[in-house]
Structure formats: structure tokens, C-alpha cells
Structure 1
Amino acid sequence: MTLNLFSQFASPHLLGIPLILLATIFPWLLFPSPSNRWLPNRLIAIQTWFSKTFAKQIFVPISLLGHKWALILTSLMVFLLSINLLGLLPYTFTPTTQLSLNLGLAIPLWLATVLIGFRNQPAAALGHFLPEGTPTPLIPILIIIETISLFIRPLALGVRLTANLTAGHLLIQLISMATLTLFFLSPIISSLTFITLLLLTILEIAVAMIQAYVFVLLLSLYLQENT
């Protein structure tokens, strides 16, 4: 039974080809490219409104130097949001349940923000390792603690996204298996578990959107510290 539960998180293969590649490319096909028409259709208008609203909310507290990241972070938000929501459909695969993918997104972007901070404001970047007014005996300990907290940031980004989505998918599968098993034994209890399954699915949709937003929001906070 344990193998059946966790088999949904294994990357499926078709003819020896990992389908995670198609799963990461497919979301971009759902978003239309801008047209040359004077009046865009509703889908393009919603896409444009979402991009402008998201970029405005994320980049208001960031300096003008960090506004160059608007396209990167907006594209990342759309990518994560699409993958998380598409993974809730039946017979699909959620690539963001793989820690390798999430760390592959978190580590390069986090490292880029750190390098920007050391290049543009090296004194302030180094000052994060030692708060002002620290007693002399505590200086080595605080430097070690701040260094560990800096390097643990990308790990926290990847693990947070992976753990939340994995837990939600496991709960959905457990309750769906219970609903199917109880259908022939006790239809009343089975109907109650089915209602619970619907509510959990709605919650998981919210979690999918919130976790994509939190991932990008934390990256924007790291960028704000270094610009």
C-alpha cells in the first residue's frame, strides 16, 4: 500500500522518455502570445491584467535596480501556478513534488540575488553577517549562525514547496481510497468522506496558488535585501 501511495510522485516514463519534460513544458502552451490586434481577447486581457497586478504588488518595495527581475519573477509565478494547478487534474503528474526541480529553481535564483548584493553593495551584504552592536564574545557565533541561515534559504524554499504539495496529494489519495473502499460497505460514511474529499480539493487548489506566490515572494524579499 505504501508503494501505491508514493508511486504518484515517481516521474512517469514513456518509451524510456521521462514525461516530466512534457509536464514542465505544457503549461506554457496554455498561455497565448500577444497579438497585433487593437482589441485583445478576454484571455489575453486577463493575462495582461494578472502580470501587471502581480508585478506592481511584488516590486513596489524593491528599488529600481531590482525591477529588472520583473519578467523573471512574473514568468516564474505563472510557471509554478500552472504546474501546481495542472497537477491536481486526474491522471496527471506534478513536477513541483520533486525536490530536485524545486531546488533547481531556488538555488540559482537565490544565488543570483546574493551575488547582486555582493557586487552592488558589498559592505551592506557583509554587514548582514554581523548585526550592529553585537558584543565581542558573540561575534564568531553570530557570524556562523548568519552564514548558516543564509545558505539554508534555498533549501527552505525548495522543501517548503515540495512538502506542502506532497502532503496535500497524499491526503487526497488517502481520502479517495477510503471513499472508494467504503462505498460498498457504508454508503452514508462514503458520502461524508466524499464531501471531505471535495473540501480538501478546494483547499489544495488554494495551497497550490499560495505556495507559488510564497515561493516568488520570498525570492523578491531576498532581492530587496541585496538591491
Structure 2
Amino acid sequence: MTLSLFDQFSYPWHMGIPLVAIALTIPWILFPTPSARWLNNRVVTFQGWFIARFTHQTFMPLNVGGHKWALLLASLMVFLISLNMLGLLPYTFTPTTQLSLNLALAVPLWLATVTIGMRNQPTAALGHLLPEGTPTALIPILVIIETISLFIRPVALGVRLTANLTAGHLLIQLVSTAVLVLLPMMPAVAALTAVLLLMLTLLEVAVAMIQAYVFVLLLSLYLQENV
């Protein structure tokens, strides 16, 4: 039976149990837990520095009211980076290539930012739907457009993360298949293709980290509009 290239993105099952639950929980086990000692090892120190630096950079433009989200968004950032990076290992599964999972993360968090804006500052939140100085004739059209753009935000968050990771994984799959096919026939061309595969893998590592940061950064920008 000929398998499709997209079969690598299907949920793995074992004895009727979806293994995506294990793929979602294992990354948390890999991170070291800080001890009660005054001086930690290098891994824990780097982990703390990275989280503190990311939190400071993300929440610097936000008001004090938005700083309550620091723990949630920092945990989400580490979680997404872990899933994206571990999915690049052979014989693994990347849960963030599933649109359902990304929408399950994006929709509740986006809805929470909109709910906070409607509760704390309803006038300012509704004011985003109509730019200042709009001609009277264009008011209904602009309100409709801005409302659609507001509700399209979580979809854009989920689709962006899914599309970037899926495209990278497909390219790696295609190039690696080309290396295996060309190796017995044209070893020199296969070697050059293998170099391309290595460069593509390094690029995909960068994409995995950048897309996780972009996902959380856009959520922080949505939060900034509503606090």
C-alpha cells in the first residue's frame, strides 16, 4: 500500500490508545527542577535565565495588570518549544502539526484576552472596532471588517503554527527520501542533497523556536490591547 506524505502527521495509536497524550506530557519530564540549594547547576541556571529574559522582554510593553499572565505565557512558550524541538527527532510525533491542538490553545487564550477587555474597559475594547475619524458612510462596513478580523485572530494563530511546522516537516521528508533514492545511483548528488538536508534541518530548528515565540508574542499583543 502506498502511503501519503501526510501520513506522518496522523495521530499514532497503540492498542487503541492515542499516543498524542504521551507526546504532550513527556516534555515536562525532561526539564530539570530547581533544588533548594543556593547554587544550581548550569542547566538549571540557563533555564532560569532564559525564562526570566523571555518574560522580561515579552511583558515590558504591558501594563501591570497584564503581568498576571507571566506564568501562563512563559509556561506556554517553553511547552511549545519543547514540542516543536522534540518533533524533529527521528521516530517521534509533533503534536503542534495538528490544527485541532493549536486551535485548542489559541481560542481559549484569545477569548480570555477579549473577555478581560470587555470586562475592565468595554469602551476601549469596542473602540478598536471603529478607527477614529472614519466617514459616516463607511462606519457599518468598517465595523464588520474589524469584527471579522477580531474573530479571525485565533484561527490565524493556529494555522500559522500548523502551516510552518507542516511545511518544514514535509520538506525534510522529501529531501531525505531523495537522498535515499539517489545514494545507490549518484553518490555525489546524494552527498550534496544530504548537505541540503542538514541545512534544512538547522533551519527547521530555528523555525520551531521562532514559531513558538511568535505564537506567545501575538497573544501578549492581544493582551496588551485589553489591559
Given the two structures, how large is their TM-score scaled by the length of structure 1?
0.98
- Hey, what's the Cα distance between the residues in 2 that align with 1:100 and 1:117? 26
Instruction: Give the 3-state SS of the residue equivalent to 1:88 in structure 2.
Output: coil
Structure 1 letter corresponding to 2:12: P
Count of residue pairs brought into register by the alignment? 227
2:29 aligns with: 29
Change (3 A) 1:100 1:2: farther
- Hey, what's the Cα distance between the residues in 2 that align with 1:179 and 1:168? 17
2:222 aligns with: 222
The CA RMSD measured in Å over matched residues stands at: 1.0
Q: Deviations over 1:105-151 (max 9, x none)?
A: 00000000000000111000000011111101100000000000000
2:42 aligns with: 42
2:99 aligns with: 99
Cα displacement (A) at 1:4: 3.4
Which structure 2 residues correspond to residues 71-220 of structure 1 after superposition, within 5 A? 71-220=71-220
Structure 2 letter corresponding to 1:183: L
Cα displacement (A) at 1:32: 1.8
Q: Deviations over 1:60-107 (max 9, x none)?
A: 000000000000000000000000000000000000000000000000
% identical aligned pairs: 71
Cα displacement (A) at 1:2: 7.3
Structure 2 stretches lacking a partner, 5+ long = none
Instruction: Give the 3-state SS of the residue equivalent to 1:89 in structure 2.
Output: coil
2:20 aligns with: 20
Structure 2 letter corresponding to 1:83: L
- Hey, what's the Cα distance between the residues in 1 that align with 2:2 and 2:79? 30
- Hey, what's the Cα distance between the residues in 2 that align with 1:201 and 1:157? 23
Structure 2 letter corresponding to 1:43: V
